Chain A
Amino acid sequence: MASSYNAKDEDGHHSGSGGPAGPGVNKSKKPDNTAFKQQRLPAWQPILTAGTVLPAFFVIGLIFIPIGIGLFVTSNNIKELEIDYTGVDPSSPCYDCAQNYSWNSTAPCVCSVEFTLDQPFEGNVFMYYGLSNFYQNHRRYVKSRDDSQLNGDKVSLTNPSKECEPYRTNDKKPIAPCGAIANSLFNDTLELSHVNPNKTRTPITLVKKGIAWWTDKHVKFRNPSGNSNLTIVFQNTTKPVNWRKPVYELDPSDPENNGFINEDFIVWMRTAALPTFRKLYRIIQKSKDNLTPTLPRGTYVLDITYNYPVLSFDGRKRMILSTISWMGGKNPFLGIAYITVGSICFVLGVVLLFIHHKYGSRSTSADIPN
């Protein structure tokens, strides 16, 4: 109270003698004269007119077109071969298998497709299987998994998440791995052999490791711990309905690729974004000496153990062989896109130049002459 008294007194006194600009000012409510409070912050004020925008368009055009050409060339250098083995066409070797097969049939159906490589494939060749019209991105399908179970959580192993319904239990036993994704695991077996000119076949080594993300293989997917014998671990579980064999027999040859950490399984579990997709199946490693192409020109045979029915939903199955570049697989789109956008920018730039020439000078100079 006292301080207020003095301050007021002073204020009154000074405003009496020297106007309100006296020391009483600290009491005044006069706003601070700062750039921020007065909204006078230094600012860049771009004005979008044909003249100012013009350079941007040309620059974009000039940058994009070379990039696009580069991308396009790169993409074109990638060699890719695609073989549809669905067997829709009666002339197709797999026609019979496709017609007869369903999830429940027991006897495997085998068919072979012969194809010719016109050009040798160099470097590592990636072998994909591709599915079309398969909606791995369906909302309920995507959810139908139990990540904890796949991560080796024992509780989830015997009591899978509700998300897995209706593929959670079978015959009162928990399903491992549960859920619709696992249930629909792609189970065709593809083998490739080179047909020598003497009609003998040389099987080509297909590496089945290294096809999944490293983090998936080592972090996300784990077998339940405790026992190295997976049979015992998965004792109280049952295989998914559509599966032929339980999860611990996916790759009996290699314990590091068995159970939940089977790479084919892991790859399948990474649900595709679009209904037409491919998934890495095997890698054909380049020859050590690097002198001979990985897949030389010639005839090859693809042996298919036809297990996976797709005709019911009008799907297609493909086998794809592809080399890759730094930007991934063959896809000319980006290159074309860059070239197109670059060209459009260039054209628009020209249009703007015209506009600027015709109108722009008037509007800017109009301010000044008078």
Chain B
Amino acid sequence: MAREIGEPREAKSSKVKQQKKRRSKKESKTRTVHANILYDHAKGDDNPNRHYANNKIKTTKYTLLSFLPKNLFEQFHRFANVYFVFIALLNFVPVVNAFQPELALAPVVFILSVTAIKDLWEDYRRHRSDKEINHMDCLVYSRTERRYVEKYWKELRVGDFVRLRCNEILPADVLLLSSSDPDRLCHIETATLDGETNLKQRQVVRSFLDLDCEFDPCKYNSVIECEKPNNDLNRFRGYIIHRNGRRDGLYKDNLLLRGCTVRNTEEALGIVIYAGHETKAMLNNNGPRYKRSKLERQMNVDVFWCVIILLVMCLFCAIGHGLWMYQYGDKRPVFDVLSPEGTDLSPALSAIYLFLTLIIVFQVLVPISLFVSIEIVKICQVYFIHQDMELYDEETDSQLQCRALNITEDLGQVQYIFSDKTGTLTENKMVFRRCTVAGVEYSHDANARRLAMYQEMDSEEEECTSHGGTLPRRDSVTSHQSAKVVLRSQSTKSHRRTGSRAEAKRASILSKHTAFSSPMEKDITPDPELLEKVNDCASQMEFMRFHSQPFSHLPSDLSDIIDFFIALTICNTVVVSSPNQPRQKVRRFELKSPVKTIEDFIKRFTPSRLTSGSNSSSSSSLVTTRSASHKACSSILSSPSAESTLTKLDEERSRGGTLDHAFSPVPPSYDETKSLIQEEGELRYEAESPDEAALVYAARAYKCSLVGRLPDQVTVELPHLGKLNFELLHTLGFDSTRKRMSVVVKHPLTDQITVYTKGADSVIMDLISPPATDHSKGKRQRKILFKTQNYLNVYAADGLRTLCIAKKVLSKEEYASWLRRHLEAETAIQGREELLFESALRLETNLHLLGATGIEDRLQDGVPETIASLRKAGLQIWVLTGDKQETAINIAYACKLLDPEEEIITLNAESQEACAVLLEESLHYIQAKFLCNASTDQHASRVYHQDYSALHVPAPACSPYASLHTVPFLVHRLGLVIDGRTLAYALEKSLEDKFLAVARSCRSVLCCRSTPLQKSKVVKLVRNKLKVMTLAIGDGANDVSMIQVADVGVGISGQEGMQAVMASDFALPRFRNLQKLLLVHGHWCYSRLANMILYFFYKNAMFVALIFWYQFYCGFSGSAMIDQWYLIFFNLMFSAFPQLITATLDKDVSAATLQDLPQLYMNGQNSEEYKPYMFWMNMIDAFYQSLVCFFIPYFAYSDSDVDLFTWGTPITTLALLTILLHLGIETKTWTWMNWASIVFSVCLFFTVALCYNASCPTCYSPSNPYWTMQRLLTDPLFYLLCVITPITALLPRYFYRACQGTLFPSPVHIGRQLDKLPTEIRRHLLSQTRVKLGSLGALFASRSSSFAFSRPLTKQSQRQEKAVAPPQPKSTEVTDTPRSSKHPENHLGPSQKKEKRSHSQSQRSRVSALTDLLDNTQGPLRGPSLTDTDTLPYTRELPRTGPVLEPATLTAAVESSDHAWVTSTPLLPQTECIQLTLSRPGVSPVIPNERSSESGLSSDQRFLSQEDRMEHTQTSDCPKENTLKTTFL
């Protein structure tokens, strides 16, 4: 799944190459499939399919025999393991050995075996699930028995014929050859593959389409040639070659994919094309991703430092040893033993040997168990995150899933969040809100009231109160369960590595969210006025039909209305089903249109009366086609080719067929209709996207209901007119590039070939045919266009999703010529996608606008709060959406992403150059606005830094950003809005730096109209260039690439299927869960792990340093006073448990406080728990502690008769106690488990020591510790040492922590103090955060005063800012927006603005910039928790590089060059803006003036201005100019 998104693009680019190759090596590039029944044995040598993989799947990595070597081999890929094994092996060299070689192997073997056992267990689970799946049953045609017999899945082979029954899971990728469905369709549910719960239709291969008789495998002797197996779920190409040499194309619509479930189809037959591991489902199945977290990367640096320290220590000792030996000269002292061979070692050689020995002795310095410990801790963390009740969503019965196990701590370090909008911020429950038809707006007030009511209602109530809501749900559940059991085992296979949770999740989604809309989406209250008109219209039409009047007499507004609703009803891919038999589509009414059985679109289009040459009734056509199809059955492949159809078309044209033959007959019996009406309320619509369903429901509210959909026919029930069958000639599906979909139908009333198009307003508006300029109709058209555009803006301003509906009537000739080329495209085997795309573009031109709709997508619960709190946490939130700019902006306001008080920079450029200029100017603007008082800034920063040093937060020193750009950045109160096209330019290599420079200084960034690829590009850019931690969150397939690129990918397991979830590292039920996930779990995970890693380094260094100090007293001989057993097991056993417990359970701040004080999150963002200097501080502390632990026993035992190990054992004990107490100081919460683990560790040490020292008097050379510990325990000196040494060793740290807690508490510390306060006081404090922060930071006395001073100024300044217009190039809108309808007093009229915008304002702008800056810098300074903001790297140094532009001069400079002009469009509040333009159309405040001065501009520039005008939609001649625009391909 993961790769799938990126694939098609790659595929396209490489397609050309492939095609070239294909010519030469055709055989290797395609797969040829013959039917197996033609050959004796499936595996026989003569079977051409024998080389293809069979259907047995084996996902295990190992076999019993290969496990050990293979697993070891894999483990040795990890460098650390190799290192430790190398050291262990070094021990086998006698000259250098330090320990008993066998013993030295122990830790490595232990670690390797722990990992191996884990792997083995996983593999065993895979094996079991494989086995289960391989032994599922399916029906396969047997040659010998001449019938279908049950076989295991694993026995299935390519070329087998399989028979699939309803609710069965497909065992392999099967080409559909026959279906019991009369339409030759097979419905499948692909939820296991892509999570989409709606049914997909698959078609029988064209050649077998008109087989009416039973498909007989024995008669099949065609050969299939198709692509090699690949993982693209949405592509399948190939052709089938029949005996007679005829070829037919095969498409993805013919292929049933493994893992899908057959629905609604009693029986289907197919031939296996890909089996087993070559199926698309399996090829898509790549396991969880292994990412390396930021913390681990940092850790690896320090591991490297450890190695360096180790080498330095060894080198030091080696030199020392050489010198030590050298001092004795030739006189060998008795204690300097010769080498085992009896040869004399020279000092140099001895030093070299010693170096190696010491590497072994000091190996613990490089923490062998750290890696294992980290893994264990992460698994525990994941477990706890899973268990969090607050991350559980009752409604969907889903909880958080961690799919990536090794990046939990990254959650605590995220700096940028990239969010999708629809489905992520919003519920993705589309509700029809209002519409405009033919330029008349129907506000649907009642509907709005209804929605308001729903908003108050609980979601639970929603489900129970509505009859329509509950019933279907239960039904859907029952209908699924039989399949679900099977499905479950299936999904273990197809997504085996996602774990059982994912699978259970999928099941729950299936049961609860089977694409049925909630009542909120269904019950739409119609607008009475519109309803009236519809009725009116319908009755008129009925009248006309009755009187056989041509429909063109219908008033155009009325016809528009009816067309509008017809378009809503049929221009979609909604499948109708009835609730009683869910997933059982509504059968068509008895009277079938004859064309059903004809295989070609064209054939269907060409009614039989044409062939027969008469105006015959449909019944006669039925007969003809029937007979034709019978013929087709007998000689399988005699279906008419496209050419013949076209001939017929030509024929018809020459005849000049008058097409007066009225609509196709209405279903005859009225009773039937009636019964259907009764049933109608229970019809349910399953749509691929929720807005499709919303529109259909909306249409139904106006009695235009969709009652049936077949591949070639849509049945619509209209008021008065009854049921109408629209012949569906073509469906040009929705795609994100075209942003629209079209259907070509034959209108049953007018019998015209009509194209209905529905799509994004920006696209559709461009495709509308320009109204004729002269006569009144054209004028009216123009007016409609203009009005509609205005309404669209209003909708967008309300945050509604807008769609435009348009239609086009084609003449037969036009259609024929289009059809000819379309057919070519369709039948093309290579490059079909592109050709079809172009063909669609050819059709969708010169449309006639019908109307527009506004659909509301409600915000999810708690989104504004979550965003506000995430922002407080210092996270930069970017929203990347495919939506229209205005909609996006409004949603952004609604969810508090944009603040009414902040300015918005809008970037809309039409070309690369324009974009460059735009970015440049924005940058200048930002600099001019915010940096013109650099001196003040510097002053501020200086003050700031002093505070910092006082705080002992070494923020300035370590910014990863410093290197990237020379210009440092502040995050301003700015919002950036950029649209997709501009984004494309901005993402070019040459501009990306500038774009980032602008974007990073903005508080929030909104990218509208962005494609999935752009989304991922943006994330990649930010991640790579700014070197920040990024998190991408989204719910749909279009977010997958973004999710994959980001450091942390989060999927919302919402309604749009599972694709995002499959690609994500974490899957959440709701957006609001992100808050807890990041602020609480992220923080905890990060601080726990960071502390554990630091502790690990400390622990090992401290332990090893003990031996290092000893080298000074043993002639640098590599001797260790610590028994080798202790030395080796110290890490593994004695000191391991407490740290694991602490790293798993420690909570520095409680969850409640973390959520109440999001500022604490910056702790992780700035890596405050684990900064590089901390490693060194820890090292220094470790060395100090080891000095204490070494020298107190040294002096206590100096010049005594103590022996080596009786002296070393107390040291070991002291080290253990010190290390544990050190952990105690660092532990923030002590649960009983912490106590238990520490007591356990100490007891374990003494028990082991006592047992070990009593076990064998002669073993364990050379230490021979017999009875040492026992003797020590009777020695009072030992106890005296145990008391004084740890205390002395930990005194500095303890003292430091105490002082830190009092003198310069970190925000986290304050959070902890808050925790301790009684709830009441806490709540009180948190409610007035500002006060609290001020008081907490009371030590920064100077600040509170400046704060008080800056506050009133700020407001003033904002006023002034509005007035200051920065110089901007054309087509920029630097909108100084007080754009909030909530603060109407802020809105100045444009004229006022213009007035104010004089150069003399520069002075004021400076003032405002200064105050703003003060506000900016003071804000963060207000409290200790806010001080964190400042550690954000870009706020670190205050900018002073770059030209400090005086706005006045800048303006002048810009204005002097005449191609640039300035707008200060008070774009928003939009309503206001629009009203203004409505009252005085054409007197748009700025643009006309500018235009007049612009006459001499190049066409390119003119172009820009036009675009700009489009933005504002003020000029009446806008549509005309639209034609100048190039259509976006």
Contacts and interface: CB of A to CB of B under 8 A. Distances in A.
Given A30-B389, A136-B335, A142-B1262, A52 B1298 contact: yes
Nearest to B482: A5
B634 interface: no
Nearest to A150: B1258
A48 B1229 CA distance: 12
B340 interface: yes
Given A213-B1267, A337-B1192, A31 B387 contact: yes
A344 B1339 contact: no
B386 A166 contact: no
Contacts of B1316: 45, 47
A90 interface: no
Contact of A355 (B338, B386, B388, B1303): B1303
B590 interface: no
Interface string B383-401: 0101111001011011100
Nearest to A149: B1258
A323 B6 CA distance: 85
B963 interface: no
A78 interface: no
B263 to A, nearest CB: 17
Given A47-B1301, A47-B1312, A215-B1267, A337 B1258 contact: no
A48 B1305 CA distance: 10
A45 to B, nearest CB: 5
Contact of A151 (B1115, B1119, B1257): B1257
B1117 to A, nearest CB: 4
Nearest to B504: A29
A272 B1203 contact: yes
A363 B1266 contact: no
Interface string A114-154: 00000000000000101000111111111111011011010
Contact of A37 (B384, B1121, B1297): B384
Contact of A370 (B460, B1261, B1328): B1328
A128 B1200 CA distance: 9
Interface stretch (A245-253, A283-291, A328-336): A328-336
A13 B481 CA distance: 13
B949 interface: no
A49 B1275 CA distance: 37
Interface in B1223-1281: 1225, 1228-1233, 1257-1259, 1261-1262, 1264, 1266-1267, 1271, 1275-1277, 1280-1281
Contacts of A359: 1302-1303, 1339
Given A5-B482, A11-B477, A272-B1204, A143 B1262 contact: yes
A360 to B, nearest CB: 5
Contacts of A244: none
Interface stretch (B810-818, B871-879, B1286-1294): B1286-1294
A17 B465 CA distance: 9
Interface in A130-182: 130, 134-145, 147-148, 150-151, 153, 161-163, 165-167, 180
Given A5-B482, A8-B477, A278 B392 contact: no
Interface string B697-718: 0000000000000000000000
A270 interface: yes
Interface string B1056-1099: 00000000000000000000000000000000000000000000
A137 B1119 contact: yes
A107 interface: no
Interface string A336-370: 01100100110010001001100110111011111
B1298 A41 contact: no
A137 B337 CA distance: 11
Nearest to A345: B1291
B1198 A274 contact: yes
Nearest to B1149: A45
A327 B1280 contact: yes
Contacts of B334: 180, 183-184, 242, 313
B1257 A215 contact: yes
B1115 A275 contact: yes
B1310 to A, nearest CB: 8
A166 B342 contact: yes
Given A31-B392, A219-B1257, A39 B1194 contact: no
A277 B478 contact: no
B1233 A41 contact: yes
B1147 interface: yes
B1118 interface: yes
Nearest to A267: B1201
Contact of B394 (A20, A38, A143): A20
Contact of A273 (B1151, B1208, B1276): B1208
A30 B398 CA distance: 8
Contacts of A130: 1199
A148 B1261 CA distance: 10
Interface string B1170-1203: 0000000000000000000000101111111111
Interface string A254-278: 0000000000000100111111111
A41 B1114 contact: no
A135 B1202 contact: no
Contact of A39 (B1151, B1287, B1299, B1339): B1151
A9 interface: yes
Contacts of B480: 8
A48 B1225 contact: yes
B1145 interface: yes
Interface residues of A, number: 118
A38 B1151 CA distance: 10
A69 interface: no
Given A9-B481, A17-B464, A278-B1199, A327 B1276 contact: yes
B1287 A279 contact: no
Contact of B1147 (A39, A52, A326, A369): A39
A135 B1230 CA distance: 46
Contacts of B1336: 363, 366-367
B190 interface: no
Contacts of A301: none
Contacts of B1300: 48
B1483 to A, nearest CB: 54
Interface stretch (B467-475, B614-622, B1131-1139): B467-475
B473 A313 contact: no
B735 interface: no
B1142 to A, nearest CB: 12
A52 B1316 CA distance: 13
Nearest to B470: A16
Contact of A19 (B464, B504, B1119): B464
A64 B1336 CA distance: 37
Tell which of A31, A64, A276, A369 has the most Cβ of chain B within 10 Å. A31
Nearest to A56: B1294
A60 interface: yes
Contacts of B1204: 136-137, 142, 271-273
Interface of B: 98, 328, 331, 333-342, 357, 384, 386-389, 392, 394-395, 397-399, 460, 463-464, 470-471, 473-474, 477-478, 480-482, 484-485, 501, 504-505, 508, 511-512, 1113-1115, 1117-1119, 1121, 1145, 1147, 1151, 1192, 1194-1208, 1225, 1228-1233, 1257-1259, 1261-1262, 1264, 1266-1267, 1271, 1275-1277, 1280-1281, 1284, 1287-1288, 1291, 1294-1295, 1297-1303, 1305, 1309-1310, 1312-1317, 1321, 1325, 1328, 1331-1332, 1335-1336, 1338-1339
Given A15-B512, A45-B1316, 11 more contacts: A5-B482, A29-B504, A30-B394, A33-B389, A43-B1231, A44-B1229, A47-B1316, A144-B337, A273-B1205, A326-B1276, A366-B1336
Closest 7 CB pairs of A and B: A12-B477, A166-B342, A313-B333, A273-B1207, A49-B1301, A53-B1298, A184-B334
8 contacts: A139-B357, A139-B1118, A148-B1258, A273-B1203, A273-B1204, A313-B328, A327-B1276, A360-B1302
